[in-house]
Structure 1
Amino acid sequence: MGPLNCTANSLHILLRLLASKGIKNQQLPPMDLPADALFNSRSRVAVSQILNLLDWAQEQLPQQNLALDYGLALALHQETLFNTLAQGCALLREDNLLTRLFGLYQEDDGETCHIELRWRANPTVAEQLPASVLDVLVAWLHATCLPLTATSHSDIQLFLPQGCEQPQRYAAYVPLKIHFNAPYLAIRLPTRLLHNEADPHNLPQLQRELPPRPSMLVASKAANLLRAELPEPPSLEQLSQALSLSERTCKRRLQDSGTHYQKLLSELRLIQARDWLQRRVYNVTQLSAELGYSSVANFSKAFKKWCGYSPSQAHLAKNGSVSGTPAEQNKQLSEVDA
């Protein structure tokens, strides 16, 4: 079996990530790279070289979630790969780098879908699934699938074949229910999610551009931490601590991404509210309490200001009977007392 290669763009993303953490190119260990690898993003680089560099960097920065950051950064640097999870599963059956690393096995009983990824032993990479590859993969998968799954995190389970001494480190990257030391690497989710189409309105309004600003890494992790605790979210101070940032730096990173703490929290709550209303999971009173609003009136006011129609019309909006989408109203979200 020949060596596995990828474009040098994946290397460039890792180098930029390391530079943001204080490791410059001059400090890097020797690497066996093509002559144009550092300036030509289309040059081909051995996957093993990137993984060796990642492992070396993790030794230099033992307290950083470097592999998880790298997986998230890879996702933020890419265009949309598929419009439904079913298309994503089909992509995993085509001939590409991911399918040369993993085999996909899928079971579906009509209600629940179990998607298992099995590591293909490769002497040029590793015989056993490396922990760093697992972290890169799960962070990348979550961020890639987010437009399809953002409002269904409580319905999705992740099974990891390794243990974890600090499971809380996954919270900013994969805010799902995670089962460690599982007999397989798998995702279990409702079958209905397989054919849901990607909806950009399921994501908060951030300044998304390619290549992304470095602050987008922080904003994406902040959104994940808030998404997991919408009824009783962490304060800005607690959020900053979870991200290993000062409160001032956290504020600045969010502002650089086109948002701020209260706006981000309000958007995430309202995105979740719209989904639950459209699927009639809760009525307005139940939903207000479930998402931590101080009153039904405050929730209804915020919801209508955000999307242009009342909560009672949400199920009609799903069918196109009511017009209105989140847009300029987002700038007013911080004024609403949630």
Structure 2
Amino acid sequence: MPAIYLHILAELLHSLGVDDQGLLLRVGLDPSRLNSAELRVSQAQASEFVTRAIIESGEPGLGILMAREMKLPLHGNLGTAVMSSRKLADSLALLTRFLTLRAPHLRIEKRLANDEAHFRVSCDVDLGPLQGFIMDAVLFGCAFMGSQLTGTPIAGARILRRGPEPHYFPRFRKSIPVPVQFDAMEDALVIPRASLDLSVRFSDDQLAAASRAQCEEALQRLTENAGFACRVRRVIETSHPFPPKLARVAATLFVSERTLKRRLQEEDASFQNLVDDVRLERAGELLTRTRMNLSQVADALGYADAANFTRAFKRWTGSSPSQYRSDAQKAAADLARSRATA
């Protein structure tokens, strides 16, 4: 799951009086790493966080509250592509093709029935307690998204939900812009076929084409990075404390330490190399985007002291951390000057 969604959920929990930072740390997530459109969090950690969030907030309708918070730009390139489309039909076609970028394991299937279009949402695997939360967030999020795109609730649209009406739903009914029908045969967004021709008020052909191309690239990368090593790296990237122990990562992925090592070896990878890759990436961010001194950077990366960090950084890059920071600052200054004189 994209880390940004857990960041938004954490902010929502904070508004409800829950210690969101403490909760993230208890499930092994680094709060400072979640406000990113690029990083992803393992399903196991996301599920544990959502489960604890519902318990500690006492709010079973967190998925609906999340749906309210999900403004289109928060969905990254997919959100940009959707909101810059010409017609509502174009936006829904993008959502159908690229939903997996934002909600792994979910898919949308379009079916035409009489004068309506059914967009059925289904899940490939059992996500446990995360599934109900995600279905609430996605389906009710689609209702709010329609209002964002067209400027008004879509007349005649409705949401179908499988199963009985949850006990908490009446509190939210009036806030959802379309009717909701429970005990249905499918989880779906239903829209009158005529409404598919509604214009999107943020339409921008050039931006739509560029963002769609970025979505295609991201989908290809997601397919290529479906291996076990990628799953391990995602846990490492968002772990607190950093670097995580191999045992902690193995437990998060529900495998033994021996199995984790074996499966990484099968992909010509190793746990330590993955940790070092993430360390190098983080080191570059800390050296170029913060004013932390070398001792602080070393501590953030899990080194005993600045000397050990410096040796490792030279081994990775051939340059000292101080020289790397100096070169980056000079490059940024040169770029700023060239833009100012352009």
Taking structure 2 as the reference length, what is the TM-score of the superposition? Answer: 0.48
**Greater Rg over alpha carbons, structure:** 2
More helix by share: 2
RCO greater where, 1 or 2, for CA within 8 Å and sep 6 or more?
A: 2
